[in-house]
Amino acid sequence: MYTRKLGKTGIDVSEIGFGAWAIGGDAWGPVDDAQSLRAMEAAVELGVNFIDTADVYGNGRSETLVAKLIEGRRDKLIVSTKGGLMGHHRDPRGEPVYGQPGNVIEAFENSLRRLGTDYIDVYFCHLWWDKPEETEAFLEAFAQLKRDGKVRAVGVSTENFDYIKHFNRDGGLDAVQLDYSILNRSVEREVLPYLQEQGIGAVVRGPLRMGMLTGKFQAATTFPEGDIRRNWPNEAWFAESLSKVEALKELSSEERTLSQAALRFVLNHPAVSVAIPGAKTAEQAAQNVSASARPLLSEDDVRIIDQIQTQ
């Protein structure tokens, strides 16, 4: 496993991490806790040290599972979690739910209890919109949590460039969690260059486009109840993405799967610190980890990807 610095924080992170959204069990179909733990254990045994979760994943279930993983080896793992969506109406036009620093700190302390630790390595604002009261509350809470030694690094989970710059107005932003993949390259224009220039770590979620870049979906694919992808087959973009994925299968070979090529694509960008694909099984986790290999992409690989994007 190759490691990278998380921006200017000095924190060493495995370039492939573990995204623990799916194991919360509330958005990606049914999960089994024992199987989820085996998936995380497999990732760690293969060199993963960056585990990303959030209070809202499974209404705390994901954080509770991560607590079992880190018990007895807390100092060897980098734990990232997010706050701001738990109990939120998710309407930027409504009254602020996290409008005071105390609201943020309360959510943070609840995460600490579920994770069974006394500090968090990276704490993210999980709100993707810039509402003045809530943004200010997070900035104040972040400063206090850093002063108190409870957080090593802070960040925001968004692709909104203006919002990122607002969060970083005093240069205190350490990391940004953003959606980036072969099928979603919009952050290459402004966001990733800015993060690289500012020394802000980029944590990439969605590097497999929620499973699209595994190549396993077809037009007839169905998703179970409780899976946020359930209506995808009825949407026009799904057929368009399937067509692109079919062309991208040229990137796969005996040495790598399409999903491993997709992970290497995001790692190929110099601004990226870590990619956090999800996994429900040990086998999926092992396949993700195998993307940490060299060379990442060849010139031919890049040409294929660029051609598909311009079609």
Question: Which of 57, 98, 123, 163 is an active site residue?
Answer: 57
Catalytic: 2?
no
What is the 3-state secondary structure of the chain?
A: CCEEECCCCCCEEECECEECCHHHCCCECCCCHHHHHHHHHHHHHCCCCEEECCCCHHHHHHHHHHHHHHCCCHHHCEEEEEECCCCCCCCCCCCCCCCCHHHHHHHHHHHHHHHCCCCEEEEEECCCCCCHHHHHHHHHHHHHHHHCCCEEEEEEECCCHHHHHHHCCCCCCCEEEEECECCECHHHCCHHHHHHHHCCEEEEECCCCCCHHHCCCCCCCCCCCCECCCCHHHCHHHHHHHHHHHHHHHHCCCCCCHHHHHHHHHHCCCCEEEECCECCCHHHHHHHHCCCCCCCCCHHHHHHHHHHHHC
Catalytic residue positions?
A: 57
